[in-house]
């Protein structure tokens, strides 16, 4: 694992031992020589010293060349076999050993590659069988999660420690309404803490309340609370426990909905009712004062009566105003949607014809107008109206004209003879429409008015229904996405239920259980101390041993300086692209929040960390996250390889890099490389964060400084 060559260590110690042995032998022989023999040898050494030294050096060089040939021919291929074979069976079954070396090793490499082909085919067969066996179960699981994803309520599911393991689209939209950055609450992602979104004391209180109710049979176990969130919205939340077979709480579900508009409407209605109460109190007191006058005379009665009638005439108007607001409060909960008027009337004409054989003569001035209504109740009400009018006047033909006027859509219903008395038509307003409420109530729900146009005798052959194109109160059109049963929903990882963070020691945590922030930077150059700046910062998270592609951080940064052409040729980021973007003082605090409570991961991350370090004084941000480097991890596992750049590692591991030299592309590639290296690290005894950091420090590349 360490980048040391045991072969050359063995050679070195062997030579040292040989030299000591030869020195001992020569010393013994030297002592056996006579004075004349010693003098003769000394003479030869002085006379032919250069020749002897040259012969010794040539001999040493020949030995070195021979050892190097032995190393390259036999030792290095053996070491390469181990490293390459480990890649094949642990990470990349498609990887093959390049056939080099002597004839014996070429035969060995060929045999290994043949076995690799068999292994790859067998692995594909087993994988296909496993996928087939899991297909139905996976389909049911994905369908459930997909349905959860599109519920009309926001849903966040957490484990016992508050780590998010599922959230649906509405939850993401509620807590991350835009792509702006600046505070930690906006980061909603798998494995993150829910306490960035909800107050921790509030959740703790809800859990305590749930646990108390679990011990009391017959009670509802849910806990309810209303709380504001960082977007300024007010949400009503229901906390529901998730129990294991032993009835122990393993997590909780937060189901919530935005009640901001309802609360605002409630406040407005409440103020209106208070105002009505005050007005009625004042008016009643005025009437009492008028009736209780001590100087009241008989001739004053007409005047008093007139004053009382003026006051009483105000009451219907005040009642109508308050009742209108109350009905609006109810109507805002009815899901009104926009429909093309032409399509609505065509469908209505066909239904009336099919059900009651009534013919409608349609006339539309603007066929492209849109109407806002609950089409089922509104069309049912109109069909009910045509049916009853037909029975009253004994006709099967009506004229139905529609046009838009000042924000109103007017439906004009008319017929020939006979005329109908106004009171007879009004009786229809209070009749129930099949299983729905009364006609009056349905029209009110759909923000529509009912007008009877009468002649001087109080008879009518024309009715107008005036629908409001826009409501006084904000009516939200909800665009719900369909549930696609074949797709895998994005925002869940139910395996997080099994994590246990209580009393966890990060340094002794297994690598596959750690949450990582994998990031990369693009810069103006390679000299952090010389004034080079970050111009792009991007990151992706690894949670529960998989990449969460939906939880990314990607920002261009204004460097407040020029971008050299040689740097532009590498990353393609021009001065115009970053001018006016947020500067590093804004980006780094947001990135700190994004990466909170995670381990940093990068490729040659020492450079990126140096870029952060030189900005500590300017931004006040100091990153203390533990750090791992895929360059060092690759050097740990494959010391026999000379190249540990991103492209070389990706090629060995069978990874296709998309977006090289973009911050996000390199961050994703680094994450994929790490997940490929992880099984190799585990098989080599590197299991925990402490193991990985300790082994990384022993590599040659760990000595690189910026």
Residue that has been written with the tokens 């105000």 in this structure: 314
* Length reported for the chain: 706
Question: How far is the CA of 133 from the CAs of 139, 196, 363, in angstroms?
Answer: 11, 39, 60
d(CA 528, CA 256): 47
Asked whether 475 and 332 are in contact (CB, 8 A), the reply is yes
Burial pattern 23-33, b for ≥16 Cβ within 10 A else e, equals eeeeeeeeeee
Q: Out of 205, 339, 641, 661, which one is annotated catalytic? A: 661
d(CA 670, CA 60): 45
CA 384 to the chain's CA centroid: 48
The token duo for 66 is 């021979």
Asked whether 434 and 380 are in contact (CB, 8 A), the reply is yes
Using DSSP's 3-state secondary structure scheme, residue 93 falls into coil
Question: How far is the CA of 134 from the CAs of 131, 138, 237, 490, 494, in angstroms?
Answer: 5, 6, 35, 19, 16
d(CA 294, CA 138): 88
Catalytic (active site) residue 661: yes
Asked whether 518 and 595 are in contact (CB, 8 A), the reply is no
Burial status of residue 108 (CB atoms within 10 A of its CB: 0-12, 13-18, 19 or more) = middle
Asked whether 485 and 143 are in contact (CB, 8 A), the reply is yes
Q: Count CB neighbours of 264 within 10 A.
A: 13
State the alpha helices, DSSP H only, in 394-505: 422-429, 439-445
Question: How far is the CA of 309 from the CAs of 283, 312, 369, in angstroms?
Answer: 11, 5, 45
Residues 6+ apart with CB under 8 A from 138: none
Cite the active site residues. Answer: 661
């Amino acid at each position: 694992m360490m980048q040391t060559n045991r072969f050359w260590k063995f050679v070195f110690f062997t030579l040292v031992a040989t030299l000591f042995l030869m020195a001992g032998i020569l010393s013994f022989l030297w002592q056996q020589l006579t004075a004349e023999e010693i003098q003769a040898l000394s003479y030869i050494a002085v006379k032919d010293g250069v020749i002897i030294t040259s012969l010794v050096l040539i001999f040493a060089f020949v030995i070195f060349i021979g050892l190097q040939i032995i190393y390259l021919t036999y030792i290095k291929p053996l070491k390469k076999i181990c490293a390459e074979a480990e890649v094949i069976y642990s990470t990349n079954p498609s990887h093959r050993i390049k056939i080099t070396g002597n004839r014996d090793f070429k035969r060995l490499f060929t045999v290994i590659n043949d076995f690799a082909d068999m292994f790859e085919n067998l692995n594909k067969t087993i994988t296909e069988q496993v996928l087939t066996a899991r297909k139905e179960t996976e389909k049911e699981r994905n369908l459930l999660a997909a349905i959860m994803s599109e519920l009309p309520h926001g849903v966040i599911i957490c484990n016992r420690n508050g780590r998010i393991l599922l959230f649906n689209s509405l939850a993401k939209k509620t807590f991350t309404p835009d792509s702006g950055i600046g505070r930690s609450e906006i980061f909603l992602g798998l494995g993150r803490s829910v306490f960035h979104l909800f107050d921790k004391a509030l959740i703790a209180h809800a859990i305590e309340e749930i646990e108390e109710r679990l011990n009391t049979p017959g009670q509802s176990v849910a806990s309810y609370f209303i709380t504001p969130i960082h977007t300024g919205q007010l949400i009503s939340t229901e906390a529901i426990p998730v129990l294991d077979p032993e009835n122990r709480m393993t997590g909780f579900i937060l189901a919530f909905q935005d009640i901001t508009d309802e609360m605002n409407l409630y406040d407005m209605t409440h103020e209106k009712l208070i105002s009505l109460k005050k007005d009625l109190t004042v008016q009643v007191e005025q009437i009492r004062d008028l009736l209780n006058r001590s100087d009241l005379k008989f001739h004053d009665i007409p005047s008093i009566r007139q004053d009382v009638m003026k006051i009483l005439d105000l009451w219907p108007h005040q009642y109508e105003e308050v009742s209108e607001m109350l009905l609006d409060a109810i109507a805002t909960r009815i899901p009104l949607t926009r429909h093309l008027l032409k399509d609505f009337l065509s469908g209505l004409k066909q239904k009336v014809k099919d059900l009651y054989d009534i013919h409608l003569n349609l006339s539309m001035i603007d066929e492209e107008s849109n109407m806002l209504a609950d089409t089922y109740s509104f069309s049912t009400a109109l069909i009910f109206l045509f049916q009853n009018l037909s029975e009253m006047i004994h006709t099967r033909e009506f004229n139905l004209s529609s046009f838009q006027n000042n924000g109103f859509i007017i439906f004009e219903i008319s017929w020939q003879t006979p005329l109908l008395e106004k009171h007879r038509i009004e009786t229809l307003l209070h009749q129930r429409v099949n299983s729905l409420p009364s006609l009056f109530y349905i029209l009110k729900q759909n923000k529509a008015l009912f007008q009877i146009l009468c002649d001087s005798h109080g008879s009518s052959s024309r009715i107008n229904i005036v629908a409001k194109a826009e409501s006084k109160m904000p009516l939200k059109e909800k665009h719900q996405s369909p549930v696609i049963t074949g797709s895998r929903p994005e925002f869940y990882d139910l395996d997080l239920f099994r994590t246990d963070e209580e009393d966890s020691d990060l340094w002794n945590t297994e690598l596959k259980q750690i949450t990582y922030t994998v990031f990369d930077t693009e810069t103006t150059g390679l000299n952090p101390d010389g004034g080079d700046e970050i111009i792009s910062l991007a990151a992706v998270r690894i949670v529960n041993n998989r990449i969460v592609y939906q939880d990314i951080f990607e920002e261009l940064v204004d460097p407040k300086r020029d971008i050299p052409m040689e740097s532009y040729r590498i990353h393609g980021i021009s001065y115009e692209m970053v001018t006016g973007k947020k500067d590093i003082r804004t980006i780094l605090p947001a990135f700190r929040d994004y990466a909170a409570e995670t381990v940093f991961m990068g490729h040659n991350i020492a450079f990126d960390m140096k870029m952060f370090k030189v900005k500590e004084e300017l931004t006040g941000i100091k990153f203390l996250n533990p750090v791992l480097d895929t360059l060092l991890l690759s050097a740990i596992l494959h010391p026999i390889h000379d190249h540990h750049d991103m492209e070389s590692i990706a090629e060995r591991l069978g990874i296709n890099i998309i977006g090289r030299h973009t911050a996000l592309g390199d961050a994703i590639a680094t994450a994929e490389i790490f997940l490929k290296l992880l099984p190799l690290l585990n098989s080599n005894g590197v299991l925990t964060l402490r193991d990985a950091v300790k082994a990384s420090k022993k590599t040659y590349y760990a000595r690189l400084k910026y």
